[in-house]
């Protein structure tokens, strides 16, 4: 169990470091006049609190959804490798929209027009990543309740996957708020999740291509937190 716990903590550490790097890139994107406190950006000192709330929302979402599906006898449906990605990512988008969309619109008023696109995408991705980390943590706990060995398998990569797809959901949310469309976002989200599930089912060494997938997804996601002219 000690080795399982160590790997679990390593995965949480990976998510935390990834989130910290992305958040600091977002802060550097904005001029000094548009950021005030360490955890606040665009003059909003509560941004850090909003990220914590997004994390808690993601954690509660997967726990409530998992318990509800178990009560109605649909856990088999949820666990299906081809059904669960659609359910999970749809729920994550719905909760992020409910929790953050109004505040994201309001925050745009504190940013210069030249930086609004960059800020909307970056702040949306940050909220989505926080929600994804919470979701990944809750899902991992649920899977590991009856089978601790699953904790070893899932904690290595699942939380990172949910953090990254959460960031893309955040970008998708931001583009909607900006009055634009990013149809490649849901394609990337579902494509990455389906490919992840497919690779996990493969024999060694092909299953290890999961880490290549996560690396490529990380390289794409980190770009959301720096200045962009286009959506």
Give the pLDDT confidence of 146-156 residue by residue, as tens digits. Answer: 666 556 656 66
With bands split at pLDDT 50, 70 and 90, how would you rate the model's confidence at 94? very high
Does residue 33 carry a pLDDT above 60? no
How much is the pLDDT for 130?
95
Q: What is the pLDDT of residues 192-231, one digit of tens each?
A: 999 998 888 888 787 788 889 999 999 999 988 876 655 4
Q: Is the peptide bond before 185 cis (omega within 30 degrees of 0)?
A: no
More confident residue, 97 or 107: 97
How much is the pLDDT for 227?
60
More confident residue, 55 or 33: 55
How much is the pLDDT for 111?
78
Distance between CA atoms of residues 179 and 51, nearest Å: 23
More confident residue, 206 or 78: 206
CB environment 202-218: b (16+ within 10 A), e (fewer): eeeeeeeebeebbeebb
Query: Per the structure block, which two tokens stand in for 223?
Result: 């770009």
> Cβ distance 3 to 10 under 8 Å?
no
With bands split at pLDDT 50, 70 and 90, how would you rate the model's confidence at 74? low
How much is the pLDDT for 225?
87
Give the ranges where the chain is alpha helix by DSSP (H): 2-29, 47-71, 75-79, 84-107, 116-144, 148-155, 158-177, 184-200, 209-222
């Amino acid at each position: 169990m000690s080795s399982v716990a160590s790997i679990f903590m390593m995965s949480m550490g990976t998510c935390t470091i990834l989130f910290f790097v992305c958040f600091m890139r977002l802060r550097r994107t904005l001029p000094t006049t548009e950021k005030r406190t360490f955890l606040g950006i665009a003059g909003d000192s509560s941004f850090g609190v909003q990220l914590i709330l997004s994390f808690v929302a993601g954690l509660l979402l997967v726990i409530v959804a998992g318990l509800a599906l178990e009560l109605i006898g649909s856990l088999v449906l949820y666990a299906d490798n081809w059904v669960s990605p659609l359910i999970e990512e749809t729920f994550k988008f719905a909760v992020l929209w409910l929790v953050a969309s109004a505040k994201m619109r309001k925050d745009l008023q504190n940013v210069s027009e030249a930086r609004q696109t960059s800020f909307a995408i970056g702040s949306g991705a940050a909220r989505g990543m926080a929600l994804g980390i919470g979701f990944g943590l809750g899902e991992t706990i649920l899977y590991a309740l009856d089978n601790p060995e699953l904790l070893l398998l899932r904690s290595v990569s699942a939380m990172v996957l949910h953090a990254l797809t959460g960031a893309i959901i955040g970008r998708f949310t931001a583009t909607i708020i900006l009055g634009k469309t990013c149809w490649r976002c849901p394609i990337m989200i579902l494509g990455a999740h389906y490919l992840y599930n497919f690779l996990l089912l493969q024999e060694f060494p092909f299953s290890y291509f999961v880490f290549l997938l996560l690396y490529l997804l990380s390289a794409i996601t980190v770009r959301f937190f720096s200045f962009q002219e286009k959506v």
